[in-house]
Structure formats: C-alpha cells, structure tokens
Amino acid sequence: MKKLINNPENIVNELIEGFVLTSKGKVKRIGSLNVVARADAPVKGKVGIVIGGGAGHEPLFLEYIGKGMADVEVHGQIFAAPTPNIILEAIKAADGGSGVILLYNNYAGDVLNFDMAQDMARDKGIKVDTVRVNDEISSAPLERAYDRRGTTSDHIIIKIAGAASESGLPFDSVIKLLKKTIYNSRSLGVSLSPCSLPETGKPTFVLEEGKMEFGMGLHGEDGIKRVDLMSADKTAETILDLLIKDLPYKKGDEVITIVNGYGSTTRMEMFIVARRIHSYLNDKGISIYASEVGEFCTSQEMAGISITLIKLDDEIKKYFDMPADSPGYVKV
Amino acid sequence: MKDILNIGDFLKIIRIISATIQENSGYLSELDSTIGDGDHGITIARGFKKAVEKLDETDPQNISELLKSTGNTLIYTMGGAAGPIFGSIFTEMAKVADGKEEIDLTALYEMFSSALDKVSRLGGAKPGDKTLIDTLYPAIESLKDSVKNNLSIKEALRQMSSAAEKGAASTKDMVATKGKARYLAERSLGYQDAGATTMYLIIKAFYEAI
C-alpha cells in the first residue's frame, strides 16, 4: 500500500505537528507529548473532558477539541491505545478544578491504559471518572453490550459532553447524560476493502473481489457476515434493520443519523446511502432531526461506510443544538 | 550447578528477551494480523528496545529496581493492551524481589506466580481464553513441580520453557474471549495467539540466559 509518509516511526508526531500548525491557534500541544488541548485549557470551573485512543482514525479523536467539544486529546500510536503516563498529563491539562471525565472507546487496550491513568490522577487528588463508548452492535450480543466496542457515534457523544460541560452542568449530571446518549446510540458498518498498517504497509485482512463484510472492526477485526457486494440501498436497509431491532428504535422516535466513510469511500457513495436512510426511516415513522454525512472516524484507506442512529430526547437535543467549534467539527 | 540468580543474570535475561523479540517481531505481527490488528510485534519490540536503553542509561543497582524499570518502560512506551499487561508482569515480579540480592528457585516461583495473579486480574482472563495466561499458567505449574522436586535453576527453566512452548501452541485450538480477537470468537480457532507466543519467548529467554 502506498502512503505519503516520512520515517514510519515519526508518523504520529508529524501528524500532530501538522494539525497544530494548521489549526489557527485554536489548539496547543502539551510539551512535546502526543497530547493536544484547546488553546484556553484548562477552563476554570468547567468539568474537563479528555478524549483519546489509537492514532490512524483521524479526524477521531484529535480534531474534536475546542469550545463546545473536548478539552484535551491524547493520541496513541497507530491503532494502539496511549500510555498511562501520557494520559495522566492530558488529565492534568484538562483539570479546571471541577473534575475530569475520560471519554473513549471500549477497547481492551484503552481500558487498561486509561484505568491506570485514572488511578494515578486520583492518587494526585484529581477527581476523575470514566465513560466508555460502546455503540457497535456486531461486536457482542445485546446481553453483553458492555463488551461492545466504540465506533462512529463518537463525535456526537463528544459534542454532547462539550456542550453540557460548557453550560456548567455538574460532574455527575454530565456522566449521566453521556451514558444515556451512548445507550441511545447504535452503529454498524460494512467494509469493501481492507485497511493497512502504515508501519508494515500490509493490509490487516483480505477481502476478496466482489465481497463485502458487515461488522468489520476499525482495526481490521473480522466482521460478522461476509456476503456478495450488495447495492447501496440494500446495504442501508440491511444495516438499518439490525440497528432498529437492537435498541429498538420505534415509530415516533426522533434520531440523528450519521453516514460515516471509513477512509476511501467517496462522498458520492455516502450520499447515495444517506438518501436510502431517509426514505427507509420515513417509511418506519422514525423522524430525522439531523443528518451527518462525512468522515468522522476512519480506518486508514479502508473502504466502506457505517451508519449510526442516535435517539434524541429534549435534554440530548438541547446540548446537540448548542454551538461547537473544533477543527474537525463545527456547529453554529 | 547454579542455584541462584543475581542482578547480572537478570540484566542478561532482559537483554536476551529484547533480542529475541526484535528477531521475531515480524512473526509476532503476522500472528496478530490473522486475529488481531497486526501491530503486536512492532509494539512489543519497541517496548523492549526502550527497556534495555533505559537499563543502560540508569544502571539499576538491585534486581527489584531493574525489573521495575523494565516493567514501567513497557507500560510507558508500548500502549495498547500489551503495555499494561506485559509491563505489569515485570513490575509485579519487582515487588516480590524487593530487598532480595539473590533469587533462588522458590523466590522465582513466587515472582512468576504473583505476576500471573496480577495479569489475570488486569485482563480478566483465565486459562483457556486464548491469551498469554495459557503460556504463563502451565509454565508456572512446571516451576512449582521443580521447586517440589528440588531441581537446579537451569533444569527448572528448561522444563518451564518447554511447558510454555506447549502452552503457547495450545492456543491454536482455543476460541478467543478477550482482547480484540474476541470479536472473532469461533473464527479465531486455528491461530496461535500472539500474546501467548510473546510470553513463551520471554520465558525461553530466561532459560537461554542461564
């Protein structure tokens, strides 16, 4: 696989350098660490939001820091969780005196490292707690939802966390709101071609010509079902049926829909899928409050899309409607 | 016949672990890419390279410090699940070795045993879950027998290494329930676990160093 990089060992450092240089002073780097904060962090009196995870999924999580979004991001190596000592520095950088919430995806590596960092921060007297995103429905059955991994609802969850903490919502209420929003979020994707690791240049899995796979992980973990390539409409329907059944989403519900491209999917394809989502949900009596189409969480050059549904209530809607200003997500 | 390990032995062990892991980094990544995300070899090689560099730089004066430095460097430089898991093996051994100038077979058994408890708690894995525990558990059982039978350290490590090799190979017939491979469940059958293989290489290095 061809990629425009320099020394593979410097990928993460160089991508962060580029990101900070091009973000118009809105973000700052903490020392020379792979930790980036909104320019005015820590914000005094505000509950701090720390996000992070392995690199290689940009814009996730790196580009979602700013006013109305997260305060600090900690970037691991490619597809590998960041280390506890670095996460601790991110927690310190986010601590405005009202506690810090660690918001990240539910993967074994992230859990181990963030938990260690949480213990270290608590030993230093910082109030810290954790909320994990687990929206991907194919990674474990409903009764083991706590084992599910986090994927493409992230930027909206972060947006809600940012708006709620910016509005002065207290620590415990922010946590409760985030858990509710995550519970209301379900995602499932389909892959058409694999991602590769920049360090090795090799694809992490093989997908034969003419095949597609549902539930493929963001790191090339095998999915649940490998089938012959379907049309955009049939693909959208298959995913929506599984998502709708999982929560379940019901007639009269109001949702945010996300069509996420995994890295090398064209916007042309995304809009064709989005079109069918609209007509299909309309037929089911589920109303769409907002639709997002784009690359929010990628996996290198993996081709494919994921669909996310987030069920709204008045509280979630209120925070979704507030402004957000991060390099990767803006809402006016 | 040698019946104790001193700080020089442990330094040699860590160096041999690192060299073995660097040599096998491609193979470990390949194992990981069939059922994980294919970065295990690169990550663990980076961790041990840094661990040896740190030892050269700080020149720890006792066994506990040496193991603690190794473990912390793995935790602070690797990332992913492997950092805390493999790092904790060494930081846990360091706790048991605290205050000891020499390690006999019984102490070595206690160190490994305590490391096993710690990583089992951290990752929540049991024998049969297709993880490094499947290497570590039978290896420690072998070590326990060797203590009972009063074997020399060299012979005990030889048998331990052989038990670890069998343990790592046994993960081929297991279904993953932990880590990223758990998402594959039945489809993880037939592949040897990368973490279990790394654990074997670590134990083999103990044997080769002595």
- pLDDT, one tens digit per residue, over B58-76 is 999 999 999 999 999 999 9
Instruction: Tokens 């939802």: give the residue.
Output: A145
User: What CATH number is associated with residue A120?
Assistant: 3.40.50.10440
In chain A, residues with a C-beta closer than 8 Å to the C-beta of B38 are 197, 200, 202, 204, 220
Picking from A281, A191, A272, the residue whose alpha carbon sits closest to that of residue A232 is A272
Terminus-to-terminus CA distance in chain B, angstroms?
11
Residue after which a domain boundary falls, among A153, A184, A215: A184
Regarding whether A236 and A144 lie in a shared domain, the answer is: no
Rg value, chain A, Cα: 19
Cross-chain residue pair B43–A77, CB shorter than 8 Å: yes
Regarding whether A216 and A165 lie in a shared domain, the answer is: no
Contact A75/B at CB under 8 A: no
∠ Cα A89 A95 A96 (to 5°): 150
In chain B, residues with a C-beta closer than 8 Å to the C-beta of A299 are none
What number of other Cβ atoms are within 10 A of residue A68's Cβ?
24
Q: What is the pLDDT of residue B184?
A: 57
In chain B, residues with a C-beta closer than 8 Å to the C-beta of A119 are none
* Catalytic residue status for A57: yes
In A, residues 230-259, which contact B (CB 8 Å cutoff)? none
Regarding whether A163 and A133 lie in a shared domain, the answer is: yes
- What average pLDDT score do residues B77-101 get? 94
In a domain, residue A156? The reply is: yes
Q: Among partner residues A83, A108, A140, which is closest to B75 by beta-carbon distance?
A: A83
Query: In this model, does residue B40 exceed pLDDT 90?
Result: no
In chain B, residues with a C-beta closer than 8 Å to the C-beta of A220 are 33, 37-38
In a domain, residue A83? The reply is: yes
Tokens of B133: 């525990």
In chain B, residues with a C-beta closer than 8 Å to the C-beta of A81 are 79-81, 83
Cross-chain residue pair B178–A108, CB shorter than 8 Å: yes
In a domain, residue A3? The reply is: no
Fold of B7-209: 1.25.40
* Catalytic residue status for A219: yes
Picking from A112, A113, A130, the residue whose alpha carbon sits closest to that of residue A50 is A130
In a domain, residue A45? The reply is: yes
Q: Which residue of A has its CA nearest to B35?
A: A221
* Nearest chain A Cα distance for residue B87, angstroms: 11
Regarding whether A133 and A25 lie in a shared domain, the answer is: yes
Q: What is the pLDDT of residue A1?
A: 78
Cross-chain residue pair B39–A116, CB shorter than 8 Å: no
The structural domains of chain B, with segments of one domain joined by +, span 7-209
Regarding whether A118 and A95 lie in a shared domain, the answer is: yes
pLDDT in tens, chain A (332 residues): 789 999 988 999 999 999 999 999 999 999 999 999 999 999 999 999 999 999 999 999 999 999 999 999 999 998 889 999 999 999 999 999 999 999 999 998 999 999 999 999 999 999 999 999 999 999 999 999 999 999 999 999 999 999 999 999 999 999 999 999 999 999 999 999 988 888 777 787 788 899 999 998 888 777 888 999 999 999 999 999 999 999 999 999 999 999 999 999 999 999 999 999 999 999 999 999 999 999 999 999 999 999 999 999 999 999 999 999 999 999 99
Regarding whether A203 and A73 lie in a shared domain, the answer is: no
- What average pLDDT score do residues B167-190 get? 74
Q: Among partner residues B36, B38, B85, which is closest to A200 by beta-carbon distance?
A: B38
* Nearest chain B Cα distance for residue A327, angstroms: 26
What number of other Cβ atoms are within 10 A of residue B116's Cβ?
18
Residue after which a domain boundary falls, among A130, A151, A184: A184
Regarding whether A78 and A38 lie in a shared domain, the answer is: yes
Regarding whether A247 and A137 lie in a shared domain, the answer is: no
Where residue B157 falls among pLDDT bands split at 50, 70, 90?
Answer: very high
B59: Cβ contacts below 8 Å, ≥ 6 apart:
none
Q: What is the pLDDT of residue B178?
A: 66
Contact A189/B at CB under 8 A: no
Which listed residue (A57, A75, A155, A278) is catalytic? A57
Q: What is the pLDDT of residue B182?
A: 59
Q: What is the pLDDT of residue A221?
A: 76
In contact, A90 and B81? CB cutoff 8 Å: no
In contact, A93 and A64? CB cutoff 8 Å: no
B50 or B190, higher pLDDT: B50
Regarding whether A197 and A265 lie in a shared domain, the answer is: yes
Q: Among partner residues B29, B81, B181, which is closest to A109 by beta-carbon distance?
A: B81
Picking from A80, A221, A86, the residue whose alpha carbon sits closest to that of residue B176 is A221
- What average pLDDT score do residues B149-176 get? 94
* Nearest chain B Cα distance for residue A221, angstroms: 6
Q: What is the pLDDT of residue B156?
A: 97
Q: Among partner residues A79, A116, A205, which is closest to B39 by beta-carbon distance?
A: A79
* Nearest chain B Cα distance for residue A112, angstroms: 6
Contact A77/B at CB under 8 A: yes
* Nearest chain B Cα distance for residue A56, angstroms: 12
Contact A13/B at CB under 8 A: no
Q: What is the pLDDT of residue B120?
A: 93
Q: What is the domain range of residue A134? A: 11-184
In chain A, residues with a C-beta closer than 8 Å to the C-beta of B83 are 81, 83, 109, 112-113
Tokens of B189: 């059958």
In a domain, residue A318? The reply is: no
Angle between the N-to-C axes of helices A171-183 and A154-166, in degrees from 0 to 180, rounded to the nearest 10: 160
Total number of domains in chain A: 2
Contact A90/B at CB under 8 A: no
Cross-chain residue pair B80–A80, CB shorter than 8 Å: yes
A12, A221, A225, best to mutate vs chain B, most B CBs in 10 Å:
A221
Q: What is the pLDDT of residue A16?
A: 98
* Nearest chain A Cα distance for residue B155, angstroms: 36
The gap from C-alpha B1 to its chain's centroid, in whole angstroms, comes to: 25
In a domain, residue A6? The reply is: no
Where residue B123 falls among pLDDT bands split at 50, 70, 90?
Answer: confident
**pTM of the shown model:** 0.90
Cross-chain residue pair A221–B183, CB shorter than 8 Å: yes
Regarding whether A211 and A132 lie in a shared domain, the answer is: no
Could you tell me the CA-to-CA distances from A203 to A120, A198, A199, B164 in Å, in that order? 37, 9, 11, 30
Regarding whether A153 and A221 lie in a shared domain, the answer is: no
Length of chain B: 210
Q: Which residue of A has its CA nearest to B179?
A: A108
In chain A, residues with a C-beta closer than 8 Å to the C-beta of B79 are 54, 76-77, 80-83, 109, 113
Residue after which a domain boundary falls, among A167, A184, A201: A184
Regarding whether A157 and A86 lie in a shared domain, the answer is: yes
State the ipTM, two decimals. Answer: 0.79
A276: Cβ contacts below 8 Å, ≥ 6 apart:
A232, A233, A236, A237
